[in-house]
Amino acid sequence: MKDKSESFAKKESFQLIIIQALLWIGAVSTIAWLWNHWFLSGPHGPYHWVGMDFIPYWVGGREILTGANPYSAETTLKIQQLVYGGPAMGNDPMMFVYPAWILVLIIPFVVLPLSWAVVLYAGSLLWGLTNLIHLLAAQWNDSHFYGRVFWMILLTIGSLPFLIISVTKGQLGYIGLIALFISRKIWGQHPYWAGVVLGLAMMKPTVTIIPTAGFMLWALLEYNWKFLVGFASTMIFLIGTSVLVVGNWLPGYIEMLKISGGAPVLWSLVILPWPWNALFAGVFIGIAGYAFIVSRSQNDRQYWLSATILVGIALFPMRWIYDLFLGILIPSEEKNLASISAICTGIAVVAPWILVVFPEDIRWNAAVIGLPLIWAGTFVVNIFRRKQNI
């Protein structure tokens, strides 16, 4: 019996590897086709939509390897030349707005030709997020096949705006999304590696700053030294290698932040006038405070971890709706969603499509305010669902 079970397990593992390989090839092939067919009209002629956000750190990474300053005006002009064919002329300035430690992640890509780098990076990102969607669907209904299929379809539909607008462009921030998801999943059994993976959420430290700080705070309260050492190990490695290669890049990065990298950082709070912006922030801070109290009283970190992600997407979203996709992580630990909890989660998942009814000039502002509020409602419902089993 033992030999049969081992043989069956090996067969399943082999089948899974084949499926994942085919899925990855399909994702990479999709991005390769889109790279050759999806163009926008720009100030200097047609330019690629696919890989547009990847180009700044591809160019910045190459500049770093040659000893140049990735935050300089010269680097920005090189990025614009590659994206648009010349200066941005009122379009997105496409600046290198990342800490220099991203070189550790992108160095395998910067040594490749741009088209190859875009296809492999964005294709792998699409593959990773497809797996995330499948895992969430299986978790939200693990007892019925048709229930899993329903969630798979709904999650795919709800994720399409982000896949189209963000993943195809090669958004670096989704590395943070995947890092937060994995860190949370393996925290209990592998705390050291959970901390190591969490460090990768700082590749693009905007919307991930608050969740990362929240994860670290909970680990500190638990005296979870393995987790903390794992995170510290990653950060020491990232900072150390970047300083060795680039030198003291921090002043250039801070100077770039002063001009907001061409976009507001506290976008949601800039949109709303006083005192509505204070009320908006207060709602999310209050929800986080309540979640912290519940988590401490029940010794269950999941309430708190979800709340930090909620606060992150509410207060620190960057440009368009890129970072709002992290809202999908808020219910990522829920199991077998049912009743009002399933309805609310389903509404939050497909809510980005509501934006099509808004005029384009207010669409993104409506998203950055409305989507966090919808996720807030879903989060509160799920808290009471767990407490009262409704």
Tens digits of per-residue pLDDT, 208-249?
999 999 999 999 999 999 999 999 999 999 999 999 988 889
As given in the structure block, the two tokens for residue 16 are 């899974």
- The three-state DSSP-derived secondary structure of 116-132 is HHHHHHHHHHHHHHHHH
**For the chain, how many structural domains are there in total?**
1
Residue 297 within a domain:
yes
Mean pLDDT of 286-290: 96
Q: 189-223 as b/e, with b when 16 or more CB fall inside 10 Å?
A: ebbbbbbbbbbbbbbbebbbbbbbebbbebbeeee
Q: 74-92 as b/e, with b when 16 or more CB fall inside 10 Å?
A: ebbebbbbbbbeeebeeeb
Q: What is the domain extent for residue 70?
A: 42-388
- According to the model, what pLDDT value does residue 321 have? 75
- According to the model, what pLDDT value does residue 390 have? 45
Residue 5 within a domain:
no
pTM above 0.75, yes or no: yes
What confidence tier does 346 reach under pLDDT thresholds 50, 70, 90? Answer: very high
Reported as a single tens digit per residue, the pLDDT across 168-198 is: 999 888 999 999 999 999 999 999 999 999 9
Taking 80 as the threshold, does the pLDDT of residue 317 lie above it? no
What confidence tier does 143 reach under pLDDT thresholds 50, 70, 90? Answer: confident
- According to the model, what pLDDT value does residue 78 have? 94
Residue type, 220: L
Calculate the CA dihedral of residues 211, 239, 323, 140 and round it to 10 degrees.
Answer: -50
Q: Return the top range by mean pLDDT from 70-79, 94-103, 218-227.
A: 218-227
